Amino acid sequence: MHKYDQRELEHYLQENVEGFGTLDAIEKFGDGQSNPTYKLTSGAQAYVLRAKPPGKLLKSAHAVDREFRVMKALEGTDVPVPRMYHLSSADTPMGTQFIVMEMMEGRIFWDPALPELSNQDRAAVYDRMNLTLARLHSVDPNAVGLGDYGKPGNYFARQLERWSGQYTASETDPLPDADWLIDWLEAHMVPDDGAISIVHGDYRIDNMMFAPHRIDVVALLDWELSTLGHPLADLAYQCMHWRLPHEGHFRGLGGVDRASLGLPSEEQYVALYCKRRGIEQPANWTFYLVFSFFRLLAILQGVLRRGLDGNASNPRDLGQMRHVIEVMAKQARLLADG
């Protein structure tokens, strides 16, 4: 939890955010964010402050500076992002680096089955998600000043090296399925085909905001894992989420009758994305899905390790986290063996 003096923070914001008045209230959003996020109220104006958590952090984690850079670069494109107002240094009244951005009004859907909507609106939501992803991957990184936002070379090879290393470093219990996945991904590594785009890194339904009274994406949020990479990584990551169970701690579509709800099948969703981008249907689709499973379970393993070490921002439900990791590893292995 951040410790701060509200008047000191108010003075800082008045000096660094154009037009900022009095800091009438500061309210922390829920516990789910990797980077603690706050609503700032100043008169009739509201802002969002997103900060690195306090304490010792992994070198590349909680990169609010990268979030600021990519969203600032995308202003003026057809990718919907909030307006960026300020990127601080590390020395701030919050004790950590933070960004200040526009407070957007809209709806966030937490359940991908969209039980609160009609079939027609469900179909529209998935169409807009598909369109937003295609638009993001169609942005020329060089044209928006992001040509150096990632490293060159085979994206999946680099990512596998990174996340297998992270997984091994944060391992808490032997998990043979995860070890098997690392070996399988190394053995089935796809060649570098030269495709490159801005990759969001955590593209899923609850990381986007929809307009209050219409089905349009008004903001794509949570860019902490963004980089330059292969566009199929984002597409497979979203489709991977839909293969997870629709129960307990999972927010997937596994076992859900999509057709009866007006939702597209995975094949239809991928085909529409490819049509919009003017590209061929992906070969080696199983590799991209299995990679997405492993990458996410490696991220969750790091969360579990920090929780057990007493450093998690939300240490509840660590037993459930362990179960989620085990289920994902098993499901990914079954998919690869398929």
155-195, pLDDT tens digit by residue?
999 999 999 999 999 888 899 999 999 999 999 999 999 99
In angstroms, the CA 93 to CA 1 distance is 13
Could you give the CA distance from residue 323 to residue 299 in angstroms, rounded to a whole number? 14
Distance CA 269, CA 235 (A): 9
Q: Which residues contact 2 (CB under 8 A, 6 or more apart)?
A: 36, 51, 53, 54, 94, 95, 96
Per residue in 55-88, pLDDT (tens digit) is 555 555 678 999 999 999 999 999 999 999 999 9
Residues 195, 197, 36: CA angle, nearest 5 degrees: 140
Question: How many Å is the maximal CA-CA distance in the chain?
Answer: 60
pTM score: 0.91
The number of beta carbons lying within 10 Å of the beta carbon of residue 221 is 23
pLDDT in tens, 267-319: 999 999 999 999 999 999 999 999 999 999 998 898 888 778 775 555 556 77
Strand runs (DSSP E) across the chain, as ranges?
25-28, 37-42, 45-51, 84-87, 98-102, 197-199, 208-210, 217-220, 227-229
pLDDT confidence bin for 23, thresholds 50/70/90: very high
Residues 199-224 have pLDDT tens digits of: 999 999 999 999 999 999 999 999 99
Q: Please enumerate in sequence order all residues whose Cβ is within 8 A of that of 77, keeping only pairs 6 or more positions apart, or say none.
A: 135, 139, 144
Q: Could you report the per-residue pLDDT of 94-151, keeping only the tens digit for each?
A: 989 999 999 999 999 999 999 999 999 999 999 999 999 999 999 999 999 999 999 8
**How many angstroms separate the CA atoms of 41 and 151, rounded?**
39
Q: How far apart are CA 322 and CA 319, in angstroms?
A: 5
Q: How many other C-beta atoms lie within 10 A of the C-beta of residue 294?
A: 27
Model confidence at 249, in pLDDT bands (50, 70, 90)? confident
DSSP of 297-336? HHHHHHHHHHHHTT--SS-TTHHHHHHHHHHHHHHHHHHH
Query: Which of 324, 300, 336 minimizes the C-alpha distance to 171?
Result: 300
8 Å CB contact between 72 and 65: no
Q: What is the pLDDT of residue 35?
A: 81
pLDDT for residue 248 is more than 80:
no
Identify the band that residue 34 occupies on the pLDDT scale cut at 50, 70 and 90.
Answer: confident
Neighbouring CB atoms inside 10 A of 245's CB total 16
